[in-house]
Homo-oligomer: A and B are copies of this chain.
């Protein structure tokens, strides 16, 4: 039988190893209270269950620490975030899939309604769920001109759920959102800037970071409490559907992902990625 002492030592070891293998790289500027959170899960920051859980925990931690702002960016070359990990959907274990999707929902709600301002520094490609992360921040600065961004789900033979759609409608309006969604369009930085999918396009990553900090510094003199209430009222129409339909949304995904057509499409897509 394992003694308590040995158990504790083992747990600490696990925690340390876990910490050293963290998929996030976070630092906070003590003076301004602004945190920089970099997604760091090679090769493409695909969002699986464990990564989402770590990210969600990090947001809650910053909230508890009364952070005054957050930069969301990537540690990787060329990719901001490739989106939800497709392997979570392919030939899924249904109980893990349910946990995964619930975590997707909760992470989005946590990010979308942070009590501190957030800026996405999009320093690489940002399709599907990666685009959703960027859309959920309060401001978007993208490194141009070569990266692309968009909710391209239809191109993969899948469907952006209602609340993904509402998120992009809130940023670029109904008309541009619909055009982008039905065609699964990926936008160049120039196109994204034109339709308002991003707020700024800058030529390099360090400049993007500077602009993100500059945006967040606007809020240093604003009462965090007035900020949070104002943001909640503003974003309430966008989150309302999910808050009222979490189970319905989950049931839809569980059913959808068991469809032979969807599985076939995902299989072909995963094969194409391997090449």
A residues engaging B (CB < 8 A)? 117, 138-139, 153-155, 157-162, 165, 169-175, 177-179, 181-184, 196, 218-219, 221-223, 225-227, 229-231, 233-235, 261, 265
Q: Give the docked Cα–Cα distance between A179 and B198 (Å).
A: 13
Q: Is A181 within 8 A of B226, CB to CB?
A: no
Closest-by-CB residue of B relative to A229 is B159
Q: Give the docked Cα–Cα distance between A234 and B132 (Å).
A: 16
Instruction: Tell me the dominant secondary structure on chain A's binding face.
Output: helix
Q: Is B160 within 8 A of A230, CB to CB?
A: yes
Q: Is B226 within 8 A of A153, CB to CB?
A: yes
Q: Give the docked Cα–Cα distance between A265 and B172 (Å).
A: 35
Residues of B within 8 A of A139 (CB): 179
Q: Give the docked Cα–Cα distance between A170 and B237 (Å).
A: 14
Q: Is A181 within 8 A of B234, CB to CB?
A: yes
Residues of B within 8 A of A261 (CB): 223, 225
Q: Is A230 within 8 A of B175, CB to CB?
A: no
Q: Are A170 and B174 also in contact (CB < 8 A) when A218-B183, A230-B153, A234-B181 are? A: yes
Q: Give the docked Cα–Cα distance between A261 and B225 (Å).
A: 10
- Shortest A213–chain B CB gap in Å is 15
Q: Give the docked Cα–Cα distance between A117 and B182 (Å).
A: 9
Q: Give the docked Cα–Cα distance between A160 and B175 (Å).
A: 20
Q: Which of B138, B154, B225, B234 contacts A230 (CB 8 A)?
A: B154
Q: Which of B157, B165, B175 contacts A170 (CB 8 A)?
A: B175
Closest-by-CB residue of B relative to A172 is B175
Q: List 15 A-B contacts (CB under 8 A).
A: A138-B178, A138-B179, A153-B230, A155-B222, A158-B226, A159-B226, A159-B230, A170-B174, A170-B178, A173-B174, A182-B222, A182-B231, A183-B218, A183-B219, A223-B261
